[in-house]
Structure 1
Amino acid sequence: MNDEIDQLLISALMQDSRSSLKTLARISGLSSPSVAQRIHKLEERKVITGYTVDVDPKAFGYQLQAIIRIRPLPGQLQEVERQIQNTPQFTECDKVTGDDCFIARLHVRSIEQLDSLLDGLNAYAETNTAIIKKSPVKRRLPPMG
């Protein structure tokens, strides 16, 4: 189980995954070697599964984001999943219960590109698209305690 110090370290790393051991030690009240040991144990237990960089897709010309609800046509589930996996503009996808089998996030440079990508899925699935205007809550962890 994770104690308060583990939660503090995880929170600090979520804010800045490049935080130094010295900074984490100051925040937690531990020594740098103790922090390093705790982080190593969190990694071994798969609590921390990786470190990442947050990049703005707009820097690469992706001006639009969309959430796509995807309902494969009968017998096309695996093909739709393969199409999503092989289309790099799909940056996230969840297989879900309900009428739609997939909910995916797509980044595109234009409406024309969106149409082109979705046209490729039309032979295999019905889609419902919502353009993202704003993301008031970015991806985050649920409460740890």
Structure 2
Amino acid sequence: MTESLDATDWAILAEVERDARIPYTELARRVNLSPSATTERVRRLEAAEVITGYRAEVNLHRTGYPVLAVVRLKYPGTRHEPLHRLLAERPEILECLRTTGDDCYVLKVAATSTAHLEQLVDALAQFGSTTTNVVLSQTLPLRGPREPRASTVG
């Protein structure tokens, strides 16, 4: 589907990403379409699974999880089901990416304290060696891709 996204689709994606609760009438105004055409475009993007959902951004600090960390895990072996069970059981594990390279997994975790983070890292360490980095600040918030720019190399 990526090759069939036009500039209007990319504009819709940018606006919906900025505010997932934007009314179709306002979205239509911002992307210069009628509300019905905008609604149809959004539905097409959802059906094609370009838009896969809508979410609220939660302030971790205000919910009692002020410690954010990235944990890298080297997981020896091929039986990953026990780790997957732990991921499902621990809500403080916010994201888990399976990666190539020295680390098998990269996890984004939130903790109530450094002691809580230590307990979480200990739970993960049963699966392999870990490296933990505490996040000091979020320089760039999570975002989706942007419309590809035409190459100026020629």
Q: Which amino acid aligns with 1:107?
A: A
Which residue matches 2:106?
103
Deviation at 1:76, TM superposition (A): 5.6
Distance 1:111 1:88 in 2: 16
Of 9, 14, 18, which residue of structure 2 is paired with 1:15?
18
Which residue matches 1:85?
88
Distance 1:9 1:75 in 2: 41
Q: Does 2:119 correspond to 1:113?
A: no
Aligned residues: 145
Alpha carbons 1:76, 1:124 under 8 Å: kept:
no
Deviation at 1:74, TM superposition (A): 4.3
Deviation at 1:125, TM superposition (A): 1.6
Deviation string 1:27-67 (CA, Å, 9 cap, x unpaired) is: 12211111111111111111111111111111211010000
Which residue matches 2:59?
56
Of 131, 139, 142, which residue of structure 2 is paired with 1:139?
142
Task: Give the match's secondary structure for 1:143.
Answer: coil
Which residue matches 2:152?
none
Task: Give the match's secondary structure for 2:94.
Answer: strand
Deviation at 1:142, TM superposition (A): 2.5
Q: Which runs of 5+ in 1 are unaligned?
A: none
Alpha carbons 1:92, 1:106 under 8 Å: kept:
yes
Identical-pair percentage: 28
TM-score (norm 2): 0.87
Note closer, same or farther for the CA distance 1:123–1:45 as it changes in structure 2 (3 Å cut).
closer
TM-score (norm 1): 0.92
